[in-house]
Amino acid sequence: MTAPSLAVWDEVVALLAGAQQVALACHVDPDGDALGSMLALGAGLRRRGVDVVASWGGEPFEVPAAYSFLPAVDLLVPAADFPHSPDLLVTLDSGSPDRLGSLADRIGRAGRTVVIDHHANGVAYGDLRLVDDGAAATVVLVAELLDRLGIVLDVETATPLYTGLVTDTGSFKYLATTPAVHQLAARLLATGIRHDLISRAIYDTAPFGYVQLLGRACGRARLEPAAVGGLGLVWTVVEPADYDGTGLGLAEVEGVIDVLRVSAEAEVAVVLKADPVKGGWKVSTRSKGAIDVGAVCGALGGGGHRFAAGFSTSAAVDVVVTQVRAALALAPHLAP
């Protein structure tokens, strides 16, 4: 495991404490941890009088509906309006420059670049790196950074922090949920956030079109008990036509894999989601703990965590599934 040294913490704190303008960027197709860490840091810095702008380098530039409730979304601007050569760039939850999409070129143009992340298989980039692959989420590092900056947690900062914490720990189900995670959650709850409304917005609210799409995707699911060395694989496809008439985009179908992964006969779940804007497929993988799917997706050009990872591809479905099966057969088995 890697963790930032005290010297790095001190240098980042000094840099942010003296900043007048800060540009924040997270990965494309942002999830709860990416948005939560970026907006929490942005809200905290703005309270100190810092001029803050935040974005990600993907189109269309739309906040996923599940996260539209987050405070400080007024900090967000399309990539086209993001500073061309920021004095200070902070990237969040982005293990490699390519995850920043069209904003990746800002790294070379920025005066200084700070990387805040918790991915184990990331690429070393940036001038200062607050990277801890033992952290349950990037928001854990942001919470500590706010503490070190003397920025007191309030509802505006705690709401996005809790959002990132609950999403990246699977509602506190994943192995990375340590006592420290629950202690942080308690601190965030103490600010008065409505954790019930946060969870409802993320997990329990969707248009009826999603219910219909979910039915179609689950209806074509396939179980392969002999795959993954007998541990089992379940997979399905969200086809381009599944989006028709639903009003849904790629970000709104992330939950399909959470339904699929409950299959008792399968250690690994895989969902191929058609990208209705760019074409091709976004592939999501989940492991119950015995297989390192981060290594699997890394071998296929993507990345992520040991138990949750993904990659993008333009190959045909049968080709992708064959590639995934082969990579799973070679994947590291993790100790219980």
How many angstroms separate the CA atoms of 150 and 46, rounded?
13
Task: Using the Cα atoms of residue 15, residue 305, residue 302 and residue 53 in order, give the sign of their dihedral.
Answer: negative
* Contact yes or no for 272/235 (Cβ under 8 A): yes
The reported pLDDT for the residue numbered 175 is 87
Q: What CATH number is given for 6-203 in this structure? A: 3.90.1640.10
Which two structure tokens, joined as six digits, stand for 154? Answer: 């309030």
Summarize pLDDT for 118-145 with one digit per residue, the tens.
997 778 999 999 999 999 999 999 999 9
* Contact yes or no for 145/131 (Cβ under 8 A): no
Pairing of strands 268-274, 233-238: parallel
How many angstroms separate the CA atoms of 90 and 110, rounded?
10
pLDDT in single tens digits along all 336 residues of the chain: 689 999 999 999 999 999 999 999 999 999 999 999 999 999 999 999 999 999 999 988 999 999 999 999 999 999 999 999 999 999 999 999 999 999 999 999 999 999 999 997 778 999 999 999 999 999 999 999 999 999 999 999 999 999 999 999 999 998 899 999 999 999 999 999 999 999 999 999 999 999 999 999 999 999 999 999 999 999 999 999 999 999 999 989 999 999 999 999 999 999 999 999 889 999 999 999 999 999 999 999 998 888 999 999 999 999 999 999 999 999 988 877
Task: Indicate the domain borders of the chain.
Answer: 6-203, 208-329
Question: Which one is the CATH code of 208-329: 3.40.309.10, 3.40.50.300, 3.40.190.10, 3.10.310.30?
Answer: 3.10.310.30
**Residue closest to 24 by CA, chosen among 46, 53, 44, 47:** 53
The reported pLDDT for the residue numbered 1 is 63
